[in-house]
Structures are given as C-alpha cells and as structure tokens.
C-alpha cells in the first residue's frame, strides 16, 4: 500500500528534473511515468525462491533486510538513502547466494517510496551488446510505458533524475566485459549527478573503476535468520523444529 500510494504522487516529486515541459506535456508524462512505475512495480514486487518455486510471491511477505559493509562500517539497506549517502557510484560485490538480486528489487521499490528519483533496474545478462548502456536505460523506460522524447531523457539524465541499478555484472559474457565496463564508466562520468549501483561477485577488474566505492554484503545474524524463517509460508511444525535447532547450536 505504501508503494502504491507513492506511485500516485511520484510525478509531482520527479517533474522538477524535466525542463521545458508545457502543461500538456506535464500531464502526458505524468500519466506515462505512473504507468511505468505500475508496470515495473508489479514485476519487481514478486519473486520466486526455492521455497516458492511454482509461483511468484510478494517480496515483502518474507524479505529480510541485509546489511553491507564499507571500510568496517555497517550500513543498513532498509532505506536506499543510507546507500546513496555513501556516494553516487557504488558496487555491491559479494559471493553468489548472498541475496544481491533480491536486494536490488528492494532498492528499486524503496526508491519509489523514499526518494524523488526515477528508479531503473536492469539485468546486465539480458543486455544486447549491439546497443549502449545509455540506450538500454532509455529503452527500459520507453518499453515500460514512460515514452520520453530523447531530449527530455537526456535533460533528466543531466539533472540527475535517476537511480540506475545494474544487476549481475559478473553474469556478462567475457567477450562483453570490456565494452560494458567502459560504457558504465563513461555513462556515470557523462551524467554524474545520477546514482549508479552495480552488483557483482568480487572482481579485481573493479580496481580500475576509480570513482566507484565497493560495498560488501554481510552474512545474516541469528535474529535475521529466525525472522526470515518465521515469515516463510511453510509447514509450521518444520519451522518450529528448525528454529529450535538454530537457537540450540545449528546456527
């Protein structure tokens, strides 16, 4: 409900990023932006897991916020503002299975509720290597109903209207790594007022990304694991037994 309420007023918070819009354009783009958020919200608010393998389930019915670390400091990810205060260019690098992709779905939804920015979530493994990263961002907006004229898209990029979430850098084909790396760096330099957050497994290749800060996902503590288990829709007797084992030494 919080997200659905935020969608309704999203354009009023966002339209300051768009220049030279007349009254008619403001109405049309306002409707288009709401349609974009409705479409992408539906896609990112549900998820399949090992437990919920047969049909998508509401993310926040069981989601447990993870924490990340930067130079020994712990940062909560429950609010995306905690992350973007660290800088406009971030890499969240951790091993497979720590929940990076699920975190990015949460960050997309949280951008809607807690900021005035336009969220864009892209899975890098789906990129067409014949197009640029900038083209893919623009395409993601237009394909989901927010059909901006290219000049307004560029204006809004210059103004820093976006939180751009690029998930799965480590899933790119090896042949595409150099091209996509250079394009991400170039895009983030060209439009440096936007927020860029990339997820990946750890890579020495990031040493050359001089403007990016690298954050590390932290393992869940016992209380977080217990909360997660208790929120899952599963056989209650199995849940209770498993939680008892966690408390008595399994963790």
Going by C-alpha positions, the residue among 92, 107, 83, 68 that lies closest to residue 219 is: 68
| Per-residue tokens: 41 | 């919200």
Note every long-range contact of 50-59, with CB atoms under 8 Å and residues 24 or more positions apart, other chains counting. 51/232, 51/233, 51/234, 52/233, 57/233, 59/102, 59/105, 59/106, 59/109
d(CA 15, CA 21) in angstroms, rounded, equals: 9
Residue 147 clears pLDDT 90, i.e. is over it? yes
Q: Per this entry, what is the length of the chain?
A: 251
pLDDT in tens, 206-245: 999 999 999 999 999 999 999 999 999 889 999 999 999 9
Nearest to 68 by CA among 213, 178, 245: 213
Confidence of residue 19 (pLDDT cuts 50, 70, 90): confident
Distance, in Å, from the CA atom of 245 to the CA atom of 191, rounded to the nearest integer, reads 51
The whole-angstrom separation of Cα 216 and Cα 100 is 10
Average pLDDT for the chain: 94
Report the percent of the chain where pLDDT is more than 90: 84
Closest by alpha carbon to 116, among 192, 38, 37, 189?
37
Residue 129 confidence (pLDDT) above 80: no
Per-residue model confidence (pLDDT) at position 4: 85
110 — phi, psi (to 5°)? Answer: -70, -30
pTM: 0.94
Rounded to 5°, the CA angle 240-57-147 comes to: 155
Helix (DSSP H) and strand (DSSP E) numbers for the chain = 10, 9
Q: Where are the beta strands (DSSP E) in 51-88?
A: 57-58, 67-70, 73-76
Render the burial of 156-168: b for 16+ CB within 10 Å, e for the rest. bbeeebbbbbbbb
Rounded Cα–Cα distance for residues 160 and 218 (Å): 29
The encoded tokens of residue 50 equal 């090992």
d(CA 199, CA 248) in angstroms, rounded, equals 34
């Amino acid at each position: 409900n919080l997200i659905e309420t935020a969608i309704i007023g999203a354009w009023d918070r966002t339209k300051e990023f768009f220049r030279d819009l007349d009254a008619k354009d403001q109405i049309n783009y306002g409707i288009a932006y709401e349609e974009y958020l409705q479409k992408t919200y539906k896609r990112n608010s549900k998820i399949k897991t090992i437990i919920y393998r047969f049909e998508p389930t509401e993310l926040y019915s069981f989601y447990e916020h993870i924490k990340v670390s930067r130079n020994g400091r712990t940062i909560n990810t429950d609010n995306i503002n905690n992350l973007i205060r660290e800088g406009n260019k971030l890499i969240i690098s951790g091993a497979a299975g720590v929940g990076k992709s699920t975190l990015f779905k949460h960050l997309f939804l949280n951008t809607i509720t807690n900021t005035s920015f336009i969220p864009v979530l892209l899975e890098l493994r789906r990129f067409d290597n014949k197009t640029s990263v900038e083209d893919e961002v623009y395409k993601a907006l237009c394909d989901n109903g927010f059909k901006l004229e290219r000049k307004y898209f560029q204006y809004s990029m210059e103004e820093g209207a976006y939180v751009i979430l690029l998930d799965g850098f480590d899933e790119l084909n090896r042949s595409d790594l150099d091209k996509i790396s250079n394009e991400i760096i170039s895009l983030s330099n060209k439009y440096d007022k936007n927020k860029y957050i990339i997820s990946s497994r750890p890579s020495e290749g990031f040493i050359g990304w001089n403007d990016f800060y690298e954050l590390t996902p932290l393992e869940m503590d016992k209380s977080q694991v217990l909360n997660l288990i208790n929120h899952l829709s599963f056989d209650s007797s199995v849940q209770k037994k498993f939680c008892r084992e966690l408390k008595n030494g399994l963790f």
